[in-house]
Structure 1
Amino acid sequence: MNTAIQPGYKQTEVGVIPEDWHTVPLGQVVTFQRGYDLPHRLRKNGDVPLVSSAGVTDRHCTAMAQPPGVVTGRYGTIGEIFFINEPFWPLNTTLYVRDFHGNDERFIYYLLKPFDFASFSGKSGVPGVNRNDLHAEMVSLPINITEQTAIASALSDMDALLDGLDRLITKKRNLKQAAMQQLLTGKTRLAGFEGEWEVRRLGDLLTICHGKSQKDVETIDGAYPILATGGQIGTASRALYDQPSVLIGRKGTINQPQYMDTPFWTVDTLFYSILKNNRHYL
């Protein structure tokens, strides 16, 4: 069944877009250029960022491109997009935008971010991302540069907000880690608590048990989570253990303990613990 197109929009080969946008080959929007080789022996101290497929990886004294720059990987790390605000040297593992053809540079950065660059790797029988294949890809964008700039500004504001939230989360996580180190070593005591701590072997407090294969209990509509080192991988028809427990990776992801206070099943790559005395130790 056909879906009616809303007024002010039109159908194109890449989907429904506003009537005052256009659909053109990417090569009419930007021109990509291969980066430049710079062996380590020729690099000199400086402030110019050297941009590889993984981002800024070194500095040099000379720039080969002027800002603003949009860079992506040609070999190595493929799919990352970098916006560069200063003179830079794009290395030969990259493609960079040499000509924006009058389009808003920041808008182009956001336009390219959803691209599946990996799908272009080796497309022409040559390893790596070929700029000619990219140039042939059809894209839709506003004709009006003012709208491009407005879209880029809105997305930049969202990025700034998310970056601020990430920094706040990191700060809170560091504060929690510091508090844990103080409280769990007795260096800081909570109000109302005093007296000596005692040293005990971990084995005096709990028993470490192996998980088991889920082959005989796994089912689509099981009531109990099947847990591996990376988290839940399915559901089980019955539980392996039904008391509060700390789960510890035996193989794979071994540095991310999990806590469960509901019945569960663990696979053989994940230990579970049985507390011998006070459950509050968990």
Structure 2
Amino acid sequence: MKIQEGYKQTEVGIIPDDWEVKNFEEIGKVINGDRGANYPSNNELFENGYCLFLSAKNVTKEGFKFLECMFITQEKDRLLGNGKLIRNDVVLTTRGTVGNIAFFDDSVGFNHVRINSGMVILRNESKYLDTSYLYGILKSDIVQNQIDRIVFGSAQPQLTVKGISQFKIPCPPLTEQKAIAQVLSDIEAEIEALEKKRDKYKAIKQGMMQELLTGKTRLKYNLD
């Protein structure tokens, strides 16, 4: 196939000439959680507390969900080493349900958050990479297809830190990254608004069905 002028063939497909492809380890760091002796046991997790301790229920294909949350105390948090989020970190699930991505930006209402043993933190360490763009590219087929190729284990699929470090990330110029990230954010906000509207109408329908199917609301009708 002939490549259009101004474009080039790369490991991630055809991209503009002025874009680069970098391994994630060149632009960021993969951080495991603390899996040592101080890792929280079930009786050290509480419905309220100082530090949110993420579970698989909190990191979904749609990002963070906080319908069910468990916390650890401040004392327990101080005992743990790696695995605490800072703003603009990205969380990736690596065991069981792999490849779910969530972004710890300012919209998340918790200040103290830690990952569990089935996750890693992806931390941007490059001034030439926009973290919102990184979040978008990690959710895209470009990276998700790479995940599908390197995941191993049939009973419990897993990703390794080494494999994640080798993710191929297409990197446009920084200004273009920011523009791409803004468009993706606007689309995501529109989708969220539509989903809220859909949920509202579903609730209205459910309530109407309950009224109609129990005879609490009667309809005027004519059989003629």
State if a TM-score over 0.5 links the two structures: yes
Matching residue of 2:196? 167
Pairwise CA distance, 1:47: 4.7
Bigger Rg, structure 1 or 2: 1
- 1:8 aligned partner: 6
Moved more, 173-182 or 42-51: 42-51
Cα deviation, 1:194-216, whole Å, max 9, x if unaligned, reads 9xxxxxxxxxxxxxxxxxxxxxx
Match of 1:154 in 2: 183
State how far apart, in whole Å, the 2-side matches of 1:10 and 1:119 are.
Answer: 23
TM-score w.r.t. the length of structure 1 is: 0.59
Q: Distance in 2 between matches of 1:15 and 1:158?
A: 24
Identify if the C-alpha distance between structure 1 residues 77 and 148 changes in structure 2 by more than 3 Å, giving closer, same or farther. Answer: same
Indicate yes or no: 2:166 matched with 1:136. Answer: yes
1:4-53 per-position Cα deviation (integer Å, ceiling 9, x unaligned) = x3333222233211122101212113211112233233346425322234
Alignment CA distance shift 1:134-1:120 (3 Å): same
State the Cα RMSD in Å. Answer: 2.6
Residue of structure 2 in register with 1:76 after alignment: 96
Q: How far off its partner does 1:159 sit?
A: 0.8
The 3-state SS of whatever aligns with 1:16 is strand
The Cα shift of 1:110 comes to: 1.2
Residue 269 of structure 1 corresponds to which residue in structure 2? Answer: none
Match of 1:59 among 32, 54, 71: 71
Which AA in structure 2 matches 1:111?
Answer: I
2:163 alignment partner AA: D
Secondary structure at the residue paired with 1:186? coil
Instruction: Say which SS state the counterpart of residue 76 (structure 1) adopts.
Output: coil
What is the DSSP-based 3-state SS (H/G/I as helix, E as strand, rest coil) of the residue aligned with 1:139? strand
Is 1:94 the counterpart of 2:119? The answer is yes
- Three-state SS of the structure 1 residue aligned to 2:95 is coil
**In structure 2, C-alpha distance between the alignment counterparts of 1:92 and 1:13, rounded to whole Å:** 30
Correspondence for 1:25: 23
Q: Which runs of 5+ in 2 are unaligned?
A: 60-65, 78-83, 106-110
Aligned-residue sequence identity (percent) comes to 30
Maintained 8 Å contact 1:110/1:152: yes
The farther-off stretch of 151-160 and 48-57 is: 48-57
Q: Distance in 2 between matches of 1:73 and 1:128?
A: 9
1:71 positional shift: 0.6
Residues 186-241 of structure 1: CA deviation (Å, up to 9, x unaligned): 21122x449xxxxxxxxxxxxxxxxxxxxxxxxxxxxxxxxxxxxxxxxxxxxxxx
The number of aligned residues is: 189
- SS of the residue aligned with 2:194? helix
Tell me the TM-score normalized by structure 2.
0.73
**In the alignment, structure 1 residue 39 sits paired with structure 2 residue 41:** yes
> How far apart in 2 are the matches of 1:17 and 1:28?
19
| Within-5 A mapping of 1:256-267 | none
Structure with the higher fraction of residues in helix conformation: 2
Change in CA separation of 1:50 and 1:179 when aligned onto 2, cut-off 3 Å: same
Which is further off, 54-63 or 170-179? 54-63
Indicate conservation of the 8 Å contact 2:51/2:72, yes or no: yes
Q: Assess if the C-alpha contact under 8 Å between 1:27 and 1:135 holds in 2.
A: yes
Q: What's the offset of the Cα at 1:61?
A: 4.0
* Structure with more strand by fraction: 1
Q: 1:177 to 1:131 in 2, by over 3 A?
A: same
Residues 97-112 of structure 1: pairs in structure 2 closer than 5 A: 97-102=122-127, 103-112=129-138
- C-alpha deviation, 1:121, in angstroms: 2.7
> What's 1:181 paired with?
210
Equivalent-residue separation in structure 2 for 1:132 and 1:159 (angstroms): 30
How many angstroms apart in 1 are the aligned matches of 2:198 and 2:130? Answer: 32
